[in-house]
Structure 1
Amino acid sequence: MFPKGPMTSGRRVTAVAVAALLSTAGAVALAPTASAAAVTASCTKTSDWGTGFEGRCTVTNGTTATVNGWKVEFDLPSGTSITSSWDAVRTSSGGHYTFTNVGWNGTLNAGATASFGFNGSGGGQISGCLVNGAACDGSGPGPGGDTQAPTAPTGLRSTGKTSSTVSLAWTASTDNVGVTGYDVYRGSTKAASVTGTQATVDGLSANTAYTFTVRARDAAGNTSAASNAVSVTTEPGGSGGGGDKVIGYFAQWGVYQRNYHVKNIDTSGSAAKLTHINYAFGNVQNGQCTIGDSYADYDRFYSAAESVDGVADSWDTGALRGSFNQLRKLKKKYPHLKVLWSFGGWTWSGGFGQAAQNPAAFAESCYKLVEDPRWADVFDGIDIDWEYPNACGATCDTSGFASFRTLMSALRARFGSGNLVTAAITADATSGGKIDAADYGGAAQYVDWYLPMTYDFFGAWAGTGPTAPHSPLNSYNGIPIQGYDSASAIAKLRAKGVPASKLLLGIGFYGRGWTGVTQSAPGGSATGPAPGTYEQGIEDYKVLKTRCPATGTVGGTAYAHCGNQWWSYDTPATIGGKMGYAKNQGLGGAFFWELSGDTTGGEQITAIRNGLG
């Protein structure tokens, strides 16, 4: 969550080495020369920096048929390990490592290849390499020798619906070699294919009954019997079937230099338009949820003039003051409002790795803090802003692909169904990027919704440019990095089985800009970040709308060239377009960072509210 730096993750490099895993000569096969009529796997050392090593494995479909899903597995001796990987889902048990395809690289036509990379440590040799249950060099029985079908999926159920979508989940099948995917059927028509145990079927008609089943498949093409059938009737009417959640972040530190307080949420008219407020941030330290700023949170004295209800805070011992007390008063005035306490953020995410080592203890600490008797009535749940699990943000995390899912499972178990559990997550949809680094699909069952941070894709941390919009809705010709746009992030998360109704579209109430720019259109060169009120390269919408008015649009967002400065930000008009997209996709609504960036009359939040209907 803003303030943050560039989203570019590069490789999640850790201090590792695989000195003897692969030959120092560079590219070697994991086993002898591959058969021409099998699915095979080989590996290449791509980099060696003395204390670290990077390798890449390539799976090749040497058959004449399409392969739907692949799995590479091998053993490593004690003292040798793989600690980081990309473009594949990695699991391990002792020294046995398994890599399976991610959703986008699992289908291999005849002659096609897919690759994944890894870092590791130690000097042992790979042994027992298998691809889809057969020898990696193709010398053993190929996938065609497997004739045993997976077991039928069980427990098929609906986990959510809109007027145009139905979200489903089920219990995984088993197979003698391995399940590679699932096909979801609407009646007798295949409606979706996924690798996980969740799917969202869209393009449905409102107020209509549908019957769904699921079949599992393996790499040899064997298909299971159908699961139990489940019938679901979509919601009535509505244009596009989108949700109406409007969630705004309230920045704890805004009460200082920005002079933005809870009362401003009321006087701007924003409180009536919001459904939820995320209070940012609590800290994560020593594996626990902790207070971020006790003075701002619950100790600052508010006079009658500063208070939501016109009543001054009390100095009585034990009396609640600060923003927490003002939020209590705001909820009393607007009973529909829910408030969540958000933990982490760009600066305070470094503690999540330790928290992931004992998720139950972390969840217990969070529950005790959020439900502290002094302010238990203020908060309706918890929001986790981990930037980023198994990837790099301000610090790099190496807790593994499953750590985020495990953490969210523990939080749901402790907070129960009566509290909200949500998470702000990455929107990096690049191949092998941050969305691929953690099990967001598997964790979706534990959250009420996700808030993909569909902003800060580009900014003046790249001081010489090229200039590019920080929050494009869509890709466009000349975008510096493919996968850095909102629609790509939403599509990738949905492909991983996250229901559309559990995804909200993110809007930034601020712009990012460069100086030294002569070109009006995106893609120009610059000399550095443009000046900002609180930080170079960034400015509130309420300032930019008059200081540097929009001069064009690209990728569904606005940009402005004024003098030698170039800025990008959303206007009420581009927000309207984004809300149309959210409704069309059946998303759960929208959220924004953060309340103090809007005008005194709340024109940005008004555009969100009106756009969602």
Structure 2
Amino acid sequence: MRFRLRSRHKLTAGLTTLLLPLASLVALATPATAASSATATYTKTQDWGAGFEGKWTVKNTGTTALDSWSVAWDFPADTRITSSWDADVTNSGTRWTAKNKAWNGTLAPGASLTFGFNGTGTGAPANCTLNGASCDGGSVPGDNPPSAPGTPTATDATDTSVKLSWSAATDDNGVKNYDVLRDGTKVATVTGTSHTDTGLTKGTDYSYTVQARDSAGQTGPVSGAVKVRTTGGGTDPGPGPGDQVKLGYFTNWGVYGRNYHVKNLDTSGSAAKITHINYAFGNVQGGKCTIGDAYADYDKAYTADQSVDGKADTWDQPLRGNFNQLRKLKAKYPHIKVIWSFGGWTWSGGFTDAMKNPAAFAKSCHDLVEDPRWADVFDGIDLDWEYPNACGLSCDTSGPAAMRTMMQAFRTAFGPDNLVTAAITADASAGGKIDAADYGGAAAYTDWYNVMTYDFFGAWAKNGPTAPHSPLTSYAGIPQQGFNSAEAIAKLKAKGVPAKKLLLGIGFYGRGWTGVTQKEPGGTATGPAAGTYEAGIEDYKVLKSKCPANGTVAGTAYAHCGSDWWSYDTPATVNSKMGWAKNQSLGGAFFWEFSGDTADGELVSAIDSGLK
């Protein structure tokens, strides 16, 4: 059977502008005097311990257009910027300067724009100037913003409401009110230190935080979060926001040349350490979901030594193949939920035609997943469209609303008790694939997104430059801005996708070049390195011995052995990425795919331990 690896190949170039809610703005640590015609406000939007994300918002407060802008500030000596977007950022010692790009220098009266960066250190700026004048981005000279309120406590939860209370914030001139945030979105502003949130859905998980505002309108840091589950709702279909999803893809074609079977999930110890399996793939043809490989899916007979429970299939039993083995695996590990994934790189072309009638498409998929022969095997559906309103192996022009329309149709068809998920792009470049579709709107109908934060770079660019295919962050010399996990996650959050609905993707394989003389990233090559199944790609279980890692960049390992150069994740880098995912409050992680791991499941173990 032809090997179908999910890959993105070469993506669209560009930068990204990330806009966050006003409630998240943090005032400058050292306020400055007012500028005559423009302001600049600094926001430290994320902090993951070893680094942070910061943003400046420039606003034209005058009556004439600005033709260009330049923001300068001081950082402490221990703070450095490692990557930036939507501005050209340079430094001279501790003085940093950001200047407009050619396309975003003009600002009409009243208009504003945001540029940002990732960095290391404390990230507290001082002595800001905008076009040579002092900045005034909303801070009041001599007036500090309020402190964080206490973490809310939740009481009196019902099917549709919950009461929240918290200890007061402090402020040098007094607290005016508090914003109550549900899953990161403001739902109420109150003057006291309690609030009853209503209109909730029964049997549903929510996360609440609180943020104080002073009399000058300055907001302080967000409080700690409290997790709440409303009463009622019946059976929980899977982990909620307070749990970490640990999901792996199992491929139906792996039972052939790779000789990888459901039983391997048991013998490797992986089954005990995961929460979900995505079974890949079903096809999308003629506007419907169809079987991907009938023989592997439900017909292949397993002998006793190949079977999860040690019992051989018989010629006349109603269900065999992977489906029956997954049924046996779930009986042995009742915590595991199995989701049937449709599409993938090779079979995404069918989505365009199917989406001409979303309701019929969704019904066909529901009827297939819920076929009485295997309905107990599956707990939901995963839609892997690469990519809505963008180009992958083929191009789609269904429009930006297609993703939201699809997920809404599938939620209607599958109801509240089945999982409905999607694998989505991680292209965070300006005007790139994340911008092409309404992932924020679709998130309302989605349990979570598998963000494919891998395959950013590879030997489809046969001459290089060599680069890690799954960088966690940007780095000096990265071939394309916006092609890293941190910027993808940040952009999806900015578009309204809750952090708990985002899973970080890990590849259980490496990508590599040959003809490389330079050990560090950025070297030239002559073509893809040899691989077991496909040039330019190899399983982790092979690379760990064939070409051991001898360096790291942007949170991902790389290796130079002979004339070959490979990048891949190791248990150490996976563990580090899981720590980052936790700091980002993500819903967990997923990986592609089980057969790339070692016989004792090294990478699965790293995901499991890293998310605890």
- TM (norm. structure 2) is 0.66
Matches for 1:590-605 after TM superposition, within 5 Å? 590-605=589-604
Q: Which runs of 5+ in 2 are unaligned?
A: 15-36, 38-58, 67-85, 87-102, 114-159, 165-179, 193-205, 214-222, 229-240
Contact 2:8 2:456 (8 Å CA) reproduced: no
Q: CA deviation at 1:158?
A: 9.8
Residue 227 (structure 2) pairs with residue 235 (structure 1): yes
Q: CA deviation at 1:208?
A: 7.7
Residue 540 (structure 2) pairs with residue 541 (structure 1): yes
Q: What secondary structure is seen at the aligned counterpart in 2 of 1:362? A: helix
Q: 1:269: which partner in 2?
A: 269
Aligned mates of 1:207, 1:436 — CA distance in 2: 27
Matches for 1:238-387 after TM superposition, within 5 Å? 243-316=243-316, 319-387=318-386
Q: CA deviation at 1:366?
A: 0.2
Contact 1:277 1:340 (8 Å CA) reproduced: yes
Aligned mates of 1:320, 1:339 — CA distance in 2: 17
Q: What secondary structure is seen at the aligned counterpart in 2 of 1:511? A: strand
The aligned amino acid for 2:315 is W
Contact 2:184 2:209 (8 Å CA) reproduced: no
Aligned mates of 2:441, 2:111 — CA distance in 1: 28
Q: CA deviation at 1:242?
A: 7.1
Aligned mates of 2:209, 2:436 — CA distance in 1: 37
Matches for 1:510-589 after TM superposition, within 5 Å? 510-589=509-588
Aligned mates of 2:181, 2:611 — CA distance in 1: 17
Aligned mates of 2:495, 2:571 — CA distance in 1: 31
Work out which of the residue numbers 1, 5, 20 in structure 2 matches 1:2: 5
Aligned mates of 2:357, 2:207 — CA distance in 1: 44
Aligned mates of 1:107, 1:262 — CA distance in 2: 58
Aligned mates of 1:470, 1:211 — CA distance in 2: 38
Q: CA deviation at 1:308?
A: 0.3
Residue 476 (structure 2) pairs with residue 473 (structure 1): no
Q: What secondary structure is seen at the aligned counterpart in 2 of 1:559? A: strand
Aligned mates of 1:424, 1:322 — CA distance in 2: 25
Q: What secondary structure is seen at the aligned counterpart in 1 of 2:272? A: coil
The aligned amino acid for 1:167 is D
Q: CA deviation at 1:62?
A: 10
Aligned mates of 1:435, 1:388 — CA distance in 2: 9
Contact 1:242 1:583 (8 Å CA) reproduced: no
Q: 2:199: which partner in 1?
A: none
Q: CA deviation at 1:234?
A: 1.1
Change in Cα spacing, 1:524 to 1:361, as seen in structure 2 (3 Å) is same
Q: CA deviation at 1:210?
A: 3.3
Aligned mates of 2:296, 2:394 — CA distance in 1: 26
Contact 1:470 1:511 (8 Å CA) reproduced: yes
Contact 1:186 1:211 (8 Å CA) reproduced: no
Q: 1:202: which partner in 2?
A: none
Matches for 1:26-425 after TM superposition, within 5 Å? 64=63, 110=109, 166-167=182-183, 210=210, 234-235=226-227, 243-316=243-316, 319-425=318-424
Q: What secondary structure is seen at the aligned counterpart in 2 of 1:462? A: coil
Deviations along 1:396-418, one digit per CA (max 9) or x if unpaired, are 00000001100110000010001
Q: CA deviation at 1:356?
A: 1.2
Aligned mates of 2:324, 2:225 — CA distance in 1: 43
Q: CA deviation at 1:265?
A: 0.5
The aligned amino acid for 1:377 is D
Aligned mates of 1:66, 1:261 — CA distance in 2: 64
Q: CA deviation at 1:4?
A: 2.2
The aligned amino acid for 1:252 is N
Q: What secondary structure is seen at the aligned counterpart in 2 of 1:235? A: strand
Q: What secondary structure is seen at the aligned counterpart in 2 of 1:319? A: coil
Q: Which runs of 5+ in 1 are unaligned?
A: 12-36, 38-59, 68-86, 88-103, 115-156, 170-182, 190-205, 214-230
RMSD between superposed Cα atoms in Å:
3.5
Deviations along 1:296-318, one digit per CA (max 9) or x if unpaired, are 000001011110001111211x6
Q: CA deviation at 1:212?
A: 10
Change in Cα spacing, 1:188 to 1:385, as seen in structure 2 (3 Å) is farther
Contact 2:13 2:480 (8 Å CA) reproduced: no
Q: CA deviation at 1:211?
A: 7.8
Residue 452 (structure 2) pairs with residue 453 (structure 1): yes
Q: CA deviation at 1:6?
A: 1.2
Q: CA deviation at 1:264?
A: 0.3
Deviations along 1:564-601, one digit per CA (max 9) or x if unpaired, are 00000000001111001000010000000000000000
The aligned amino acid for 1:3 is R
Deviations along 1:178-235, one digit per CA (max 9) or x if unpaired, are xxxxx8776579xxxxxxxxxxxxxxxx99863899xxxxxxxxxxxxxxxxx99613
Aligned mates of 1:407, 1:600 — CA distance in 2: 38
Aligned mates of 1:556, 1:512 — CA distance in 2: 15
Q: 1:499: which partner in 2?
A: 498
Aligned mates of 1:457, 1:209 — CA distance in 2: 34
Q: 1:23: which partner in 2?
A: none
Identity of aligned residues (%): 68
Q: 2:233: which partner in 1?
A: none
User: After TM superposition, where is structure 1 displaced by more than 4 Å over at least 4 residues in a row?
Assistant: 60-63, 104-114, 183-189, 206-209
Contact 2:13 2:481 (8 Å CA) reproduced: no
Deviations along 1:419-471, one digit per CA (max 9) or x if unpaired, are 00000000000000000000000000000000100000000000000000000
Change in Cα spacing, 1:467 to 1:320, as seen in structure 2 (3 Å) is same
Q: How many residue pairs are counted as aligned between the two chains?
A: 437
Deviations along 1:257-297, one digit per CA (max 9) or x if unpaired, are 00000000000000000100000000001111000100000
Q: 2:484: which partner in 1?
A: 485
The aligned amino acid for 2:440 is G
Q: What secondary structure is seen at the aligned counterpart in 1 of 2:227? A: coil
Change in Cα spacing, 1:158 to 1:322, as seen in structure 2 (3 Å) is farther
Change in Cα spacing, 1:554 to 1:188, as seen in structure 2 (3 Å) is farther
Change in Cα spacing, 1:582 to 1:320, as seen in structure 2 (3 Å) is same
Deviations along 1:71-122, one digit per CA (max 9) or x if unpaired, are xxxxxxxxxxxxxxxx9xxxxxxxxxxxxxxxx99995649798xxxxxxxx
Contact 1:166 1:234 (8 Å CA) reproduced: no
Contact 2:181 2:208 (8 Å CA) reproduced: no
Q: 1:43: which partner in 2?
A: none
Aligned mates of 1:374, 1:212 — CA distance in 2: 55
- TM (norm. structure 1) is 0.66
Contact 1:242 1:582 (8 Å CA) reproduced: no
Aligned mates of 2:456, 2:8 — CA distance in 1: 9
Q: What secondary structure is seen at the aligned counterpart in 2 of 1:332? A: helix
The aligned amino acid for 1:508 is G
The aligned amino acid for 1:535 is E
Q: CA deviation at 1:7?
A: 4.0
